[in-house]
Amino acid sequence: MTVNLMIDGLACEAAPGQHVLDVARQNGVEIPTLCHHEALAGQACCRLCVVEIEEASGSRDVVVSCTYPAKEGLKVSTNSEQVRRLRRTVLTLLAERAPLAEGALPAYCQEYGVTGYDLRFTVDKDEKCILCGLCTKACAELGNSAIETTLRGVDKQVAPPFDEPPAACIGCASCAEVCPTGAIACEDADGVRTIWEKEFELLRCEACGKPFATAEELAWLKERLLDTELNLAYCPSCRGKMSLKDLT
Amino acid sequence: MSAKRTILVCCDTGCIASGSKAVVTALKEQLALAAAAGVAGAAATDATVEPLVKQTGCHGFCGYGPVVKVMPDDISYYRVKPKDAAAIIESLGGEPVERLLYRDDAGQRVTGREENPFYSSQKKLALRNVGELDPELLDDALSRGVYESLKKALTMTPEEIISQVERSGIRGRGGAGFPAGRKWRIAAGYNNNPKYVILNGDEGDPGAFMDRSMLEGDPHSVLEGVAICAVAVGATDAYLYIRDEYTTALRTMKQAILDAEAAGILGDSVLGSDKQLRVQVVRGGGAFVCGESSAMIASIEGAVGEPRAKYIRSTQEGLWGQPTVLNNVETFINIPLIIANGGDWYAQTGTDKSKGTKVFALVGKIKRSGLIEVPMGTTLREIIFDIGGGIPGNRRFKAIQTGGPSGGCLPDSLLDVPVDFDTLLEYGSMMGSGGMIVMDERTCMVETARYYVEFLARECCGKCVPCREGLRWLLDILTRICEGEGEFADLEILEGICETMTLASRCALGKTAANPVITTLRYFHDEYEEHITHKRCPAGVCRMGVAP
C-alpha cells in the first residue's frame, strides 16, 4: 500500500507513516536539516526542515518535514518564500548561539545568506553546541545515558550528572560522532582518549596495531554479546577482512 | 424566623492569608459561649436553630477577604476579623451587622450577593458549589446533588453521553478551545484498551487561580466530571495532574478520592455498576511547560516534561501510547451540569461558537479583584468596569492581559470586544486558562512584554530552536530597549523572530510565546518608539541612563 503526494510539484509515492523528509530525499528533493540522523530519527529540534503543506482537505499549515507523516493527497512546498524566511531566522538564531559551530550549519548560513543579527548581542562567542540532542539520544539508545540535557528553557545544556566526569561513560565517542557541529571535544593522543574530562586507555588492534577502542567499550560490548565467542581484539577495519572462523 | 443557619467562611488560600482561619476559631468560640449562656441573639430564642460554622472554598471576592456568608439569609460580610465574630453570632436571625456589609459604588451597604456589583452580573455554573460547601465533606457534596449526574450517566450509553457533551458545544477550558465532545468521541472510537483520562490541574500562569479554586472548593464535582468522561470513553484509569505548589488542592483531591472510593462511588465498581475507575493524583513536575498536554503525558510517564515531536493526537496515542482524553479542571467540572440538564440547556449560555461560561482570575490594577465566572461573550468592559469596578485611584486603564504569559495585552480600544475563544485569538490574544491582569497608566508595556518573555524563557522546555533561541533573543532585545539601548532596527528583528516562533515552534507554548511581544508591538508601538527615540519610558517604569 502506498500513498501519493506532491512535493514541489513532483508526484511522489510513500509508504504510509513515512515522513515527508525521507520521501523528499528519496525523490531527490533536498531539505536542510541539522538535528536529523537516520539512526536517531524524530528529534525535531532544529526546525530547519520546515515546509508548507496543504492537506487533501485544503487546510494549510507549516510543519517540520522530519516528523510529518506522508498522507494521500498532501501537497508539500519545500522552498517557498515563507519557508526560506523561516529558515533564515532559524539559521540566524543558531549562528548567534553557536558562532563556532562546524559542519553543515556554517554551510547553510552561507547558502541562505545569513550573517547573524548584530554583534552587539552575541554573548558567548565560544559556543559550538546547537542543542540538537543527538548526543544524549545516542548515549541513551546505547543504554548508557552518561550525558543528558539538563535544566530547561534558555538555560538548557548538555552535561554529565553534576557536571562531573560521567561515571557511566565508556568512552565510545558516539556522542562526538553524531554531533553535527563538532561541539563535543574528543581527543585521541598517545594511546589515550580524552572525552568529557575523562581519560580512557585505547586498546590496539591485534592485527594492525592501531588504537581503536577503549577497554570499557569492549567490556560493554562483550556483556551484550553474551555467550558469543567473538574475538573483540581486532579493529572494525581488520574485522571486515577476516572470516568468521578467524574471529571466533 | 426559624431556620437552621450555616455560616460559610471562605478558607481558600487568599482568605486564609487574610486571616480566615482565626475567624473560624472565633466564630466557633462565640457559638459555644452563646450556647452555654443559652442565648445567641434573636435566633437563639428559637429551639430549632443550630448555627453551624463551615469552612468552604473560594467565595470569589478575594480582594475583600476574609469573606463570611450566612445562609439561608444570604448575608455576606467582608474583611471580617476575629473580633467581629461576637457581633455576627449575635445578629443571627436578626438584623445584619451593618459595618461588615459591602458598600456599593453609590455608597449603599448591600446584604446579599445579588445586590453586590461584583456578583450581580456573574453566572455561576462551574463555580456552582465552590464556596457553598465544605470541600472535605462528601455528605455536603451529596446534599448538593454531586454524583447524581454520574448516576444518570451510568444509565446512558457512551454514545448518549458523548452526544450530550457535543450538543453542549463546550470547548476545552485549558486554552486551545478544542471541542470536548469531539475529543471524547475520537477517544471512544478506538478499541485498544486500556484508555486513560487525565485531568490537567497544572495551572501555572502568574496570577491565575481558577483551577486551584475548583480543586480546593468542589473536589467531588471535579471527580464526577472525570468519572463521567471515563464512563463515556471506556477508560478505567484516571490521573489528576495537579501542580505541586498547590498543597491544599493536592490534599483535598486525595481525600476526596479516598472518600468517594469508601462510599462505593469510585473504585472497582462505580456506583454499583460493572464499570471500574481508579483515580490517582500525580504531583506536577514543577515546570510551566508540563501544562502542555504531551509534556504532561511525558511527565506522568516519569520522563522529563517536554512536548513530543510527533504529529499525533493524544486521543489516539497518549499516555503509555494508549488513547487518552486530557481535559482541564474547568472542562470536567462543567460536565455534570451538561449531563443533568442536557447539552441544549448548556448551549443556551454563551456565544455562537463559545458556549457556557468562563471562570477568570481578575487581578491587577482593579478595584474588585477575585475569582469570577461570566457567560462567554461578556465584554472586557463589563468584566473590568461592572464587575471589577474599574481602576483604583482615578487612574486610567491601559491594557488587559488575557490568557496567561503567552496571551496578549489588549488596549482600551478593544474594551467592547466580547470575550470568547475566537474573538480573543483574532485580536492576537487568547482565552488561555482564564487569567486576566488589568494594567493602568503606570504600567510600561515594553517592560510588561519583557516580564512575560523572561518568564517563558525560563519555563519553556528548551528543546526547539525557534522557541528557546527566539525567547533568548526577544529577552535580550527587550531588555536593551528597556535600558535605553534599543534601536529601530531591533523592532524588525523582533517581528522576524515572532513570526518564526509562531509558525515553526514545536508545541503550543512556543507557538504562542511571542504573543506578548506581538500584541504590545501592535497596540502600544508608540511606547516602543518613545523608549528608542527619546530614551524615555512614558509610564516612568524603566530607568534609563542610570548607572547601575
Which option is the CATH number for B357-440: 3.30.160.110, 3.40.1170.60, 3.30.565.10, 3.10.20.600? 3.10.20.600
Domain B445-533 has CATH 1.10.10.60: no
- Confidence bin at A124 (pLDDT 50/70/90): low
Residue B337: how many other CB atoms lie within 10 Å: 21
Q: What are the residue boundaries of the structural domains of chain B, listed by start?
A: 6-111, 138-347, 357-440, 445-533
Q: Which residues of A touch B289 (CB under 8 A)?
A: 152
Q: Look at residue B301 and give its three-state secondary structure.
A: coil
Query: What residues in B contact A89, CB-CB < 8 Å?
Result: 466, 496-497, 499-500
**Fold match flag (B6-111 vs B445-533):** no
Q: What is the mean pLDDT of residues B491-511?
A: 96
**Dihedral sign from CA coordinates of A48, A49, A54, A59:** negative
Judge: B471–A93 Cβ closer than 8 Å, yes or no: no
pLDDT tens digits for range B207-261: 899 999 999 999 999 999 999 999 999 999 999 999 999 999 999 999 999 999 9
Contact between chains at A121 and B477 (C-beta distance less than 8 A): yes
**Angle ∠(B115,B118,B122) on CA atoms, nearest 5:** 90
Q: Which one is the CATH code of B138-347: 3.30.70.1230, 1.10.10.10, 3.30.470.20, 3.40.50.11540?
A: 3.40.50.11540
Across chain A, mean pLDDT equals 92
Going A39 to A45 to A48 to A52, the CA torsion angle's sign is positive
Decide: helix, strand or coil at residue A163. helix
Which residue, among A15, A76, A16, has the nearest Cα to A50 in the 3D structure? A76
- pLDDT class of A122 with cuts at 50, 70, 90: low
Residues in chain A within 8 Å Cβ distance of B508: none
Per-residue pLDDT at A86:
97
Chain segment A62-83, per-residue pLDDT in tens:
999 999 999 999 999 999 999 9
Binary contact (A90, B504; C-beta < 8 A):
yes
Nearest-CB residue to B462 (from A90, A118, A153):
A153
Substitution target from A50, A68, A123, A152 for chain B, most B beta carbons within 10 A: A152
Contact at 8 Å (CB) between A47 and B463? no
Q: Where are the beta strands (DSSP E) in A27-146?
A: 50-54, 60-64, 75-77
DSSP class of residue A233 equals T
Shortest Cα distance from B110 to chain A (angstroms)?
49
Residue B2: the pLDDT is 46
- Measured CA to CA, the distance from residue A91 to residue A160 in angstroms comes to 27
- Residue A187 clears pLDDT 70, i.e. is over it: yes
How many interface pairs between A and B have CB atoms less than 8 angstroms apart?
110
Chain A residues closer than 8 Å to B474 by CB: none
For chain B, the residue count is 548
Q: Are B330 and B359 in contact (CB under 8 A)?
A: yes
Q: What's residue A240's pLDDT?
A: 85
**Per-residue pLDDT at B117 exceeds 60:** yes
Ranges of H-type helices in chain A: 20-26, 81-97, 104-111, 134-141, 174-178, 215-225, 236-241, 244-247
Predicted TM-score of the model (pTM): 0.94
Q: Has residue B44 got a pLDDT over 60?
A: no
Amino acid in position B460: C
Residue listed under C-alpha cell 497608566: B441
- Write down the pLDDT at residue B3: 61
Q: Encode pLDDT of B427-457 as tens digits.
A: 999 998 899 999 999 999 999 999 999 999 9
Beta bridge pairs of residue B53: B7
CB spacing of B461 vs A152 below 8 angstroms: yes
Closest B-chain CA to A87: B500
Q: In terms of CA atoms, which chain A residue is nearest residue B455?
A: A153
Binary contact (A149, B472; C-beta < 8 A): no
* pLDDT at residue number B175: 81
The predicted pLDDT at position A120 comes to 59
d(CA B54, CA B40) in angstroms, rounded, equals: 18
pLDDT at residue B1, as a whole number = 41
Q: Which of A234-243, B43-52, B281-290, B450-459 has the highest mean pLDDT?
A: B450-459
Say if residue B408 is exposed, middle or buried (CB neighbours under 10 Å; 0-12, 13-18, 19+). Answer: buried
When scoring B468, B487, B493, B494 by the number of chain A Cβ atoms within 10 A, the one with the most, hence best to mutate, is: B468
Kindly indicate whether the domain formed by B6-111 is annotated with CATH number 2.40.50.100. Answer: no
Q: Do A42 and B493 touch (CB under 8 A)?
A: no
Instruction: Please give the Cα distance from B452 to B406 (Å, whole number).
Output: 7
Q: Which residue of A has its CA nearest to B497?
A: A89
Smallest Cβ–Cβ distance between B469 and the set A50, A93, A155 belongs to: A93
Residue B468 burial by CB count (10 A; 0-12/13-18/19+): exposed, middle or buried? buried
* Record: contact A67-B471, CB cut-off 8 A: no
Question: Residue A35 CB: number of other CB atoms within 10 A?
Answer: 28
What residues of chain B have any CB closer than 8 angstroms to a CB in chain A?
A: 287, 289, 304, 309-311, 456-466, 468-473, 475-477, 480, 489, 493, 496-497, 499-500, 503-506
Of the candidates A90, A151, A153, which has its C-beta nearest B466's C-beta?
A: A90
Q: Give the residue on B whose Cα is nearest the Cα of A121.
A: B476
Which of the pair, A110 or B286, is modelled with greater confidence?
A110
CB contact under 8 A, A118 and B464: no
- In contact, B402 and B210? CB cutoff 8 Å: no
Predicted complex ipTM? 0.94
CA distance B312 to chain A (A): 9
* Bridge partner list, B350: B355
Mean pLDDT computed over B395-405: 95
- For residue B45, name the pLDDT band (cuts at 50, 70, 90): very low
Nearest in space to B421 (alpha carbons), one of B213, B205, B207, B172: B172
**Is the confidence at residue B547, as pLDDT, over 50?**
no
Half-sphere exposure of B457 (CA within 13 A, CB side): 19
**Does B39 have pLDDT greater than 90?**
no
Q: A197-239: per-residue pLDDT in tens?
A: 999 999 999 999 999 999 999 999 888 887 677 778 888 889 8
Q: Is the peptide bond before B72 cis (omega within 30 degrees of 0)?
A: yes
Q: Indicate if the pLDDT at residue B463 is higher than 80.
A: yes
pLDDT top residue among B500 and B286: B500
Which of B494, B500, B502, B509 would best serve as a mutation to test chain A binding (most A beta carbons within 10 A)?
B500
Residue A237's contacts (CB-CB under 8 Å, 6 or more residues apart) are A205, A208
Which grid coordinates are listed for A215? 577497554
Q: How confident is the model at residue B206 (pLDDT cuts 50, 70, 90)?
A: confident
Cβ-based contacts of B309 with chain A (< 8 Å): 42-45, 64, 67
pLDDT of residue B288: 92
- Chain A residues with beta carbon closer than 8 angstroms to that of B503: 50, 62, 82, 86
Residue A43 to chain B, least CA–CA distance (Å):
7
Is it the case that residue B311 has pLDDT exceeding 80?
yes
Segment A42-51 shows an average pLDDT of 96
Q: pLDDT category, A119, cuts 50, 70, 90? A: low
Rounded CA gap, B50 and A52, in Å?
70
Selected for mutation to probe chain A from B316, B469, B475 (highest A CB count within 10 Å) is B469
**Inter-axis angle of helices B465-482 and B525-533, nearest 10:** 60
pLDDT of A118 reads 59
SS3 state of residue A181: coil
In order of B82, B200, B339, B411, B456, the CA distances from B190 in angstroms are: 57, 22, 23, 45, 36
Distance CA B228, CA A217 (A): 54
Those residues of chain A whose CB sits closer than 8 Å to some CB in chain B are 42-48, 50, 62-64, 67-69, 82, 85-86, 89-90, 93-94, 96-97, 117-118, 121, 130-131, 133, 149, 151-156
* Dist CA B343 CA A139 (whole Å): 52
The alpha carbon of residue A151 is apart from the nearest alpha carbon of chain B, in Å, by: 9
DSSP state of A227: T
Write down the pLDDT at residue A101.
93
Q: Give the Cα separation of B1 and B17 in Å (integer).
A: 35
Distance of CA A132 to the CA centre of its chain: 7
Half-sphere exposure at residue A61, Cβ-oriented, CA atoms within 13 angstroms: 13
In tens, the pLDDT along B121-163 reads 999 999 999 999 999 999 999 999 999 999 999 999 999 999 9
Average pLDDT, chain B: 94
Those residues whose C-beta lies under 8 Å from the C-beta of residue B397, and which sit 6 or more positions away, are: B384, B390, B391, B412, B415, B438, B439, B440, B441
Element (H, E) at B358: strand B357-364
User: A139 Cβ partners below 8 Å, 6+ apart?
Assistant: A145, A146, A147, A174, A175
